[in-house]
Amino acid sequence: MKRKIVEGPIRSKEKSKQKLLNAVGKLLKTKGYNALKVNDIALTAGLDKKLIYNYFGGTDQLIDEYIRSHDFWSNIIEVPSEITDGGEALTKEMLISQFDYMFKNKEFQRIILWRLSESRKSLKKLTDKQEENGERLFEAIVDSHFGKNAARYRAITALLVSGLYYLNMFQAVNGSIFCGLDMKTEEGRNEVKEAINFLIEQSYRNL
């Protein structure tokens, strides 16, 4: 017989917090960041707005937590050990994972667009956290491999990361065909992934 789960204060609090975080995502995806007001979030969650202050300290802190939980690069915590190829395979894996993650996560697409459109402390924190994690990966794995060409490789990576962001945001709004490739089809997206592999391989062979 399955054990009955008791609905206690801690479990109830966690469920309510998740409802509020989900409400932020729903509003962001359907109405955009201008809809992230305390009354709208509470109404969407079906909860009293006082809980936003009780659990998070306010709307800004709630939104901050939502942003942190959905960002791809900010949630990379561990720097892998025993890398023998200078980070080539890891870089391919992470860039392709970013490409797929953003395609599936419409809320994250909105967060990136929001970051380009408005100055906000939580979005600045997002940028700082991404850079902090990226710097750890570069310093621990990549820089020693490329030596004097490390800055050039960082620039190549910057182009790839930003380009992959753009392709996903582009296909979500006003069209999906870019350079003749359909960014909504498996075939089109696989071509981009093969291009990622090719560019990283060329960088490791020729820099």
pLDDT confidence of residue 6: 46
pLDDT confidence of residue 146: 95
CA–CA distance, 49 with 118 (Å, rounded to integer): 25
pLDDT confidence of residue 1: 47
For 35-66, b where at least 16 C-beta lie within 10 A, e where not — what string?
Answer: ebeeebbbebbebebebbeebbeebeebbbbb
pTM recorded for the entire structure: 0.78
* Mean pLDDT, contiguous 10-residue spans, the chain (207 residues): 52 88 88 86 93 91 84 70 86 93 87 82 82 87 93 96 93 88 96 98 96
| Residue in the block written with tokens 């820099």 | 207
Closest to 64 measured CA to CA, from 2, 102, 114, 98: 114
The set of residues, in sequence order, having a beta carbon less than 8 Å from that of 31 and lying 6+ positions away, is 40
Element of type H or E holding 181: strand 181-182
Torsions phi, psi of 181, nearest 5? Answer: -105, 135
Q: What is the DSSP letter of 183?
A: T
